[in-house]
Structure formats: C-alpha cells, structure tokens
Amino acid sequence: MGKSKCPECPKCLPGWLVQFGDLMSLLLCFFILLLSMATMDKKKVEEYFEIMRRSMGFLEGAVDTSEAEKEKLSEQHMNASESGNQDDMGGGNDSGQIIAELEDIAREYNYTTESENDDEVTVNQKNNNEFTMEIPSSLIFAEGDYDLKHKQAKRFITKIARIIRTMSDGMDIEVAGYASATEIEPNSAIPRDNWDISALRSITLVKELIKNRIDPTRLKVAAFGSYRPKGTNASENRRVELKFITNRLNGEIGLEDENFFDRIGQ
C-alpha cells in the first residue's frame, strides 16, 4: 500500500502582523490611560467651539479666526495683569487679610513652642497705616544669645517672609529689639550690654529675612535696650517687634488721612 500524501497546512498570518497587533493594543492602552488622567476644561472647550463657529460663519457677526485669537490673547493678558497687580499688593493691599495670615502662623508657632512664662507671639493693629507682630525673645533666642540656632525658629521667620513678599512695595518693615534691665551685665565681650543684645537680635532677624528674598531696602533695624519696657515682668520686656508701616514716600496714604473723594478733587 502506498503512503498517503500529507494534507497541506493552512497558511498562517505573517509574523509581522502579530507584532503589529500587539503594538496597536499597547498604543490603545496608552491613550486610554492618558485620557483617564486628563481633565477636561469645559469652559475652554466651549470657547474653542465658539471661535470655530464664528470663523466658519455659522453665527451672525462671524469674525476671522486670527481676530478671534487676538481678542482671546488680549483678554488673557489683561486678566493676568490684573491678577499680578493684586498679588503684588497683597490681595488688593488688604491689611486685614495680611494680619489674619500673620495671626494664623503666630497661633501655629505658639502651639508648637513651650515657654515657662506663657510667652506668645501676638499681632496688633495700631491704625490703618501700621500693625505690629511682637515676638518674645525667649521663643526664638536662647537666654543671653542673639543667634537663630533652632530650626523651628528659622521656619517661623521663613513663613513670615512668605507673607511679606505678598505685601505692597509701599510697606516697610522695622525690626525693633528690646531687652530687660537685668538680661546682660555690662562687660567687655560682645554683647557688652542691653543695647548690644537688643540691636544684635534685630540684625539677626533682618539678615534671616534677607536670606528669604526680602528686599533690604524695605527693612530697618532699631534697638531700644531696656529703656522701653512693656511691663514689670522681665520676660515680657525681652522681645523683638516687627512693625509693618505704610511708606508715605511711595505715595501710599492711609484711608484715615485721605479718602477717595479727596483724591478725585485734586
């Protein structure tokens, strides 16, 4: 008996087609992932279709695409300029908002620090042109020292600097140091007396603010030694005050000195 002939095998798909199919599957998965992570801005999509309808004449008063794009860019530039001005002015030069932000970081710092004398950072508004942040020396300096050695104190000054950077350029900052009558005994080494310790602490805070990108021209150092005590308790007299004062030389005048209608009449 003769051997039967083996039937011909059906032709298979070419090898490259399998790899191509795998590639397309991977690309499909990739774009599905991109779509799942994307956020659709409904307003921008509507603006896009509005410009397309106008440019193609679907609406009355249709305009050229380039003109529509120019109008859109002009509007965006105007909005960005207005937003930038508000940021530079610290939220429209709203001292109430700035004070609230300073009070928030003061409460946070008071909560994380411990003081034997219950010393706390406080913020007080004197008038529309001036407000003060009072920092007890015991919270940021060691006794008889003028260096910022604690990281927590440096972070506290960094947070203050972030708020200062949002203030108007017309706001100056005076850093004033105070000491108690018994803090430093007169000697030949630095600090030699209460004048030195109060001045050096002020200078330390100013330098720390400059490290945090505060313009040095806005800063001023003052020292009063022990000659302006706050009370009879020595601990409350050891303090550093940040005084935020409107700079009248820059043409910024408080509401209590001149109102809107007075400026119109000039």
CATH number at residue 147: 3.30.1330.60
Structural domain that includes position 72: 20-88
Q: What is the pLDDT of residue 67?
A: 55
Task: Examine residue 121 and state whether it is found in any structural domain, yes or no.
Answer: yes
Supply the pTM of this predicted model: 0.55
Q: Is residue 3 part of a domain?
A: no
What is the reported pLDDT for 61?
47
What per-residue confidence (pLDDT) applies to 109? 85
Q: Which residues pair with 208 in a beta bridge?
A: none
CA dist list (Å): 75 to 22, 44, 81, 85, 126: 47, 14, 10, 16, 40
The reply to whether 98 and 198 lie within a common domain is yes
In whole angstroms, what is the distance from residue 122 CA to residue 138 CA?
14
Number of domains in the chain: 2
pLDDT for the residue 202 = 92
* Closest C-alpha among 260, 190, 181, 173 to residue 228: 181
Q: What is the maximal distance between C-alpha atoms in the chain?
A: 129
Distance (Å, rounded) from C-alpha 186 to C-alpha 194?
8
How high is the pLDDT of residue 66?
53
Helix, strand or coil for residue 154? helix
Instruction: Please give the Cα distance from 160 to 206 (Å, whole number).
Output: 12
pLDDT recorded at residue 206: 92
Res 207: pLDDT = 93
Please report, in angstroms and rounded to a whole number, the separation of the first and last CA atoms in the chain.
125
pLDDT at 254: 43
Residues 80 and 146 in one domain: no
Query: Which residues of the chain fall below pLDDT 50?
Result: 58-63, 80-93, 250-266
Residue type for 235, please?
S
Instruction: Give the pLDDT confidence score for residue 260 in this predicted structure.
Output: 44
Are 35 and 152 part of one and the same domain?
Answer: no
59 and 135 co-located in one domain: no
Return d(Cα 155, Cα 241) in angstroms, integer.
Answer: 17
CB 119 within 8 A of CB 125: no
